[in-house]
Chains A and B, each alone.
Chain A
């Protein structure tokens, strides 16, 4: 069912994005560039451009968009959300694109690993472990952080590697179980309906 054409374009990509509640507005984008002109990341790094990311997604450049590090450097400052003339929340569309990338199981870059670590850590202790987060995200590049870590160490500021678990961590895991079970069931039901 791959709607890829010979140019490798996936004309249904935008539908995958719009399926996520945050991506619903993608079809209404005028490509006016207001989001880009207010974007605080673009102001210091013009390789990042929300209008272009959205446009590429609409055009069907699926792999390029999903593999790009760019979708992970929206700082979620929400400036664009206030200004988009179509009210379609461009920053949220970037989040919906991240949703799709994570569904695809992409783990190839720092942005994805940063995102994935949050839930992992919460299931372990209930909180985000700030000591492990950089390790998990940056892998070998962690050595670039050594000077910063030394500075923090002398300030007595290094976060604990083994923080204590919150009270009721079992409840958090149970909530997760309930949610995952429901998702599985929903997927099965959808499958059944598709077959009949």
Chain B
């Protein structure tokens, strides 16, 4: 056993999670959109009107929709246009991201950059694989480490212990989390995803991006986010808490049918996107 486990066993660890009182609430507008979208009668224009009521939020969403992420050849100038072009799920993901942006930025230096980098890399891998749901996978990459925000905001003492362990440059963040807490940010992410009622395309990558071979509902999306996390860490873009490249899940790699020569075209797609993402690293 490590010398200073804050929590002795798993049962107590689970209790610890429940101790977290101020779990961030789902942004009201995201909950509203979810309810609207569940209703098949809802039109894009109605959802568009709801989002447009919040001008700051719509500006942030449009800024992301027009960023290098999506590489649109035409400017998206309204929320309803974004809904038509990018789809409900993607716009919902962008609304969610805009709503938690401040939280991500405040919790850990470099995590926002890691998140948008992983999003761009997820998009690049999905594009190379010719997937038509590349935008949705990109949003999953954007939110994959949200569990770290819960950790930073709610368990600051444990977070400091984790940081200490990571300092030597040999331990991955999630390994340190497991030593200190007996769970890691992927479980916190799952918990948040359930609490917020997020779709599986976001929830499963959040829960399983470090163990993608366990994914059953969205295995390919989860595998792509897993590979994208590795690629963006290899590039040294942003800071996910540690500066190490984690091992790749060979099961995920083989399931996607990727080859070693695919890294070059993936990085070719990714590079220009990263250099132009600087304009959304501060979206206020």
> Do A and B belong to a common assembly?
no
Chain B interface residues toward A at CB < 8 A: none
State the A residues within 8 Å of B (CB).
none
